Structure 1
Amino acid sequence: MSPRRKILVVLKGYPRLSETFIAQELLGLERAGFDLTLISMRRPTDKKRHPVHDEIKARVVYLPEYLHEEPIRVLKGLLSGVRRQGFGSLMRRFFRDLPRDISRNRFRRLGQALVLAREWPDNGQWLHAHFIHTPASVTEYASILTGVPWTCSAHAKDIWTSPDWELSEKLGSARWTVTCTKGGHDHMRTLTSRDDAVHLSYHGLDLARFGHFAGERSLRDGTNPSDPVSIVSVGRAVEKKGYDTLLRALALLPRNLHWRFEHIGGGDELQKLKALANELGLSDRIVWKGALAQEEVLEHYRRADLFALACRIAANGDRDGLPNVLVEASSQGLACISTEVSGVPELITDKETGLLVQPEDPAALSGALLAAITDPALRHRLGSAAEEQVRSHFDYHSSIRQLKHLFEAEWLKAS
């Protein structure tokens, strides 16, 4: 490996329970020999942490989340910035961006970049952003100001809710960008003329944390009221997860079919979902678990009979990439039902490694649930095939090796 370089990794928030794939990648890069400092634009709000967060050794530096809360820090960043050679280029770029995005958010990213450039933790020699929307804005502005090169990991919401002009600008400025689904990759490829600008890199899973489940899967088929089929889902209660569709699908199941549904996760729409469940007469069959740590989630995968996630494209264009929870559940031989959205079909092939239906279709989803609930042999076959797929093609070490190669190739060019 070429000499270690200090990488400043810019994140929207850290640590976050919903972003285990990022934490897993950070730990993988550390273990591969990279020297990281984490730059978080927000302070943590989750009350729990995953074990992986405690294994990451990188120092965490928090930028001002709101500029008015730390005015002295921001003013010092501005006064320092105006003396830098790159300040004129940064202002030209900012005033080109501003008419296309007149918002407080745009000013906030500029202020955070000025603070980052002034404080410049641990003598950083490279910048890397996780998410190509706001973290990449801070990272790119800091790169323009300091002359330090930058790269990016793009995921899902950040791609699909960012305007094409902004994606195109950032793809032209970053040395390279990786993304975790073919759909996201193909979309960004249309926005740049550079063949080396975008790379497809599946996150994969740390299979050491998600070892093979050697226990027996149940033969529950929904006929025994004292032993209902266990359905689990993990995800934030937000529009793109489609939980209202899933609840309506559950309500369409035959009344004499016995099942129990457990939801794991927080989210802004949790109260609305609970009210909808009550309206549909499902409350006595549902348990809302809230956010759980990774080891607790793993136990739920192992106890459950079926995993369901009704992904959809939200009204603002937001959507999942390839939800990591589907990879996790599949790694445990748990049969999954989901929708043909974004990167989901890159993991699940209908009737081979899971069941897929069109989004926004409660009747079709209910039919898939009915088939899986009543046929334990089908669940076992799909779950076994899904686990084989994950263990063959979704080991996160492959992604770490790819990132290692990309970073080292850039550093060799610069040496």
Structure 2
Amino acid sequence: MSQAAATTPTAAPAVGPVAAPPGPSAPVGPVLYVLKRFPRLSETFVLREVLGLEAAGVRVLVDALLPPEDSPTHAELDAVCAEVRYVPRHARLRDPASARAHLGLVLRRPLRWSALALRARRDDTWRRFVQGGIVAERVRREGVTHVHAHFATASSEVAVVAAALAGVSCSVTAHAKDIYHHDNAPHLARRLSGVDTVVTVSGHNVAHLESVVREGGVRASVRHVPNGVGLGPVADPATGTSLLCVARLVPKKGVDLIVRAAALLADDHPDLVVDIIGDGPLRPELTSLANSLGLADRVRFHGAATADEVQAALAGCRAFVLPCRIDADGDRDGMPTVLVEALARAVPVVSTDVVGIGELVVDGATGLLVPPDDVDALATALDRLLRDPALATSLGLAGRRLVAQRYSPADATAALLDVFAGASGHAGGAA
């Protein structure tokens, strides 16, 4: 990964070889990604996208709004060719670099610059406007034909401004927190205004976003592009006895439910161990909960892990469990990529029937679904898989077949290429 500033790469679940996808319906020139952070441990899907586009022959550039997190190293980042630049976090128009970038844009498009500046003052997004001008200058200098952002928050605000000032097309991938969280939902239509295409990761999200853009008067199409996940080696869950969760330790992941379910299972499964990989603000609380339930030696919190450690854990467990919920702030998962990754290894999944998860985890066919926040139902589902290794194997293999059919990395890249090419066909930027 070439860089414009020193970074420390982060770890994520293993990313397999990226196959070159079929070409788009029209040529795609250089694409610039606007991201909050890059690289980021929890955003393996961004890394896969960049690798997939580069395998297809697309030149990718990255402008990140924040420096990378201090996390373990992810080896696959070395395969990324994109030059990563870090936009000043507190950019001001009077700063020399910002002033030079915006002066050129004012001279080229004075009316558009003025309209966007007035909008930024009105919407209290001036800092994003200044950052957008810095990005727009790079777009013009490097011959970028399309700007893409992940998450309809700060990244999309900057991307929309940059694309409009540079006169190119723009798309945004919306995921979950940026769509549903109470702090973000009221601003969603505004943040998507000026976007040519909204990409999202589940059919459930498509339906919701179509209503948002329609009711908000936003001129954007909505496309479903699943996060592509390659098939890993087939695991044998029949030989495993542990349960595995890989997640950020935040309320919407429902990790507390796993701990409580383990307490209900402990007497009937004396050898049961639950491995929880990931970190977050709830770790002290979750550790205390496990200790209070007498599970200190049976619920193991591993913190952030390398790709090899995650893959080894998947290979050795009976089932993967992620009891997602809608938290008090409205936050929820859109389509947890880690569920796709588990099924790609033929590891059966137990999750909840919220948002788009049922599109992947079909109850009784590719996994088991339980209602959110139902500890008894979760324990019952896990007990079924612990007692029935044949069921665990059959569900895992069925899930792997579904992943192969619907979550192909090559298909995901081809769909993105069509989004970029189609949007470029009617580019111009909204003022």
Structure 2's unaligned 5+ residue stretches are 1-23
**Could you tell me which residue of structure 1 aligns to residue 201 of structure 2?**
180
For residues 106-121 of structure 1, the aligned pairs below 5 Å read: 106-118=125-137, 120=139
1:274 is the counterpart of 2:287: yes
Cα distance change, pair 412–79 in 1 and its aligned pair in 2 (3 A): closer
1:240 is the counterpart of 2:252: yes
Cα distance change, pair 217–410 in 1 and its aligned pair in 2 (3 A): closer
Write the distance in 2 (CA, Å) between the matches of 1:3 and 1:384: 37
**Could you tell me which residue of structure 2 aligns to residue 168 of structure 1?**
189
Q: Relative to structure 2, which stretch is displaced further, 299-308 or 40-49? A: 40-49
**Could you tell me which residue of structure 1 aligns to residue 45 of structure 2?**
21
Native 8 Å contact 2:238 2:392 kept in 1: no
1:202 is the counterpart of 2:226: yes
Amino acid at match of 1:168: A
Q: CA shift at 1:412, angstroms?
A: 4.3
Q: Relative contact order (C-alpha < 8 Å, sep 6+): which is higher?
A: 2
For residues 372-387 of structure 1, the aligned pairs below 5 Å read: 372-387=385-400
Write the distance in 1 (CA, Å) between the matches of 2:220 and 2:35: 24
RMSD: 2.5
**Could you tell me which residue of structure 2 aligns to residue 37 of structure 1?**
61
Native 8 Å contact 2:237 2:348 kept in 1: no
Q: Deviations over 1:265-295 (max 9, x none)?
A: 1212212211111112111112222212223
Write the distance in 2 (CA, Å) between the matches of 1:143 and 1:126: 7
Native 8 Å contact 1:177 1:199 kept in 2: yes
**Could you tell me which residue of structure 2 aligns to residue 138 of structure 1?**
158
For residues 14-413 of structure 1, the aligned pairs below 5 Å read: 14-67=38-91, 73-74=97-98, 85=110, 86-98=112-124, 106-118=125-137, 120=139, 122-161=142-181, 163-164=184-185, 166-193=187-214, 197-207=221-231, 210-213=232-235, 216-219=236-239, 229-258=241-270, 259-413=272-426
Amino acid at match of 1:201: V
Write the distance in 1 (CA, Å) between the matches of 2:336 and 2:224: 16
Write the distance in 2 (CA, Å) between the matches of 1:294 and 1:277: 26
Amino acid at match of 1:187: H
Write the distance in 2 (CA, Å) between the matches of 1:89 and 1:165: 23
Write the distance in 2 (CA, Å) between the matches of 1:125 and 1:217: 46
Q: CA shift at 1:330, angstroms?
A: 0.8
Structure 2 length-normalised TM? 0.84
**Could you tell me which residue of structure 1 aligns to residue 10 of structure 2?**
none
Q: CA shift at 1:31, angstroms?
A: 1.1
Write the distance in 1 (CA, Å) between the matches of 2:68 and 2:288: 28
Q: CA shift at 1:64, angstroms?
A: 1.7
Native 8 Å contact 2:32 2:60 kept in 1: yes
Identity of aligned residues (%): 34
Q: CA shift at 1:3, angstroms?
A: 5.0
Write the distance in 1 (CA, Å) between the matches of 2:219 and 2:152: 18
Q: Deviations over 1:233-261 (max 9, x none)?
A: 11111111111122112112242422001
**Could you tell me which residue of structure 2 aligns to residue 103 of structure 1?**
none
Structure 1's unaligned 5+ residue stretches are 99-105, 221-228
Amino acid at match of 1:166: H
Write the distance in 2 (CA, Å) between the matches of 1:231 and 1:241: 15
Q: Deviations over 1:289-319 (max 9, x none)?
A: 2212223211211111111111111211111
Residue aligned with 2:422, SS: helix
